[in-house]
Amino acid sequence: MWGSDKRLEMKRIAVLISGNGSNLQAIIDAIAKGSLTDKAHIVQVISNKKDAYGLIRAQQVAIPTTVVTLKTFTEAGKSREDYDAYLAEFLIVNVQPDIVVLAGFMHVLSSAFLDRLKRIAIINLHPALPGEFDGTHAIERAYQAYQEGKITETGVMIHRVVAEVDRGEVIIVEKVPIMKEDGLEDLKHRIQLVEHRLIVEGILYVLYNKP
């Protein structure tokens, strides 16, 4: 079958990022040599930050990238809802993804985004166990709680995105132990290795088991 026809069958992934993009890289690597090959491809990477290194990672493998910053909207007197609605429309009109993956995306998406994409799976990676450390700096907060003897482990989850931050249906969750000799960076490293595996598993699960 001609390459282009095969690509027509492949599932279309849109990835939203804000920073380093190590989770985006994990998806790129999975497509390049592993479990997603011939099944899905990344058709667009969108960043809300123009200096996100993840944009470079995408451009290195010729994935189309777009930067949409909230600042451009607020400076034009527009609201967060306007931003979210624009982002949703951009995806619907220009990308037509089968799945939207929030991979280190640090902007909270409102119903102005979610309501427009009701028929598309939207998943988020969050470096904590369900119901614990919602929001930003989850790893740091878990590390602090461990130091205070409040927890003995933390985790990583992939969940569907709903308006309430980090509270959608959990798709995959994996516990991550915290060792007494851990520094914060040790825990971050251990968590990121789990993130990079779960983000790919989460995409496969949603695309092929529970769209």
Q: How far apart are CA 22 and CA 198, in angstroms?
A: 13
Instruction: Considering only the C-alpha atoms of the chain, give the largest distance between any 2 of them, rounded to a whole number of Å.
Output: 59
Nearer to ligand GRF, 17 or 207 (CB): 17
Closer Cβ to ligand GRF, 57 or 85, answer by number: 57
Structure tokens at 60: 């290195």
Cα separation, 91 vs 120, whole angstroms:
10
Query: Residue 105, exposed/middle/buried by CB under 10 A (0-12, 13-18, 19+)?
Result: buried
Asked if 126 is an active-site residue, the reply is yes
Q: Of 25 and 40, which has the nearer Cβ to ligand GRF?
A: 25
Name the site residues for ligand GRF (rule: CB under 6 A): 17, 19-24, 54, 103-104, 125, 127, 195
Annotated catalytic residue, options 41, 107, 126, 189: 126
Q: Six-digit token pair at 72? A: 């451009």
Shortest reach from residue 104's CB to ligand GRF, in Å: 3
Closest approach, Cβ 129 to ligand GRF, in A, equals 13
Q: How far is the CB of 143 from ligand GRF (least distance, A)?
A: 13
Residues belonging to the active site: 126
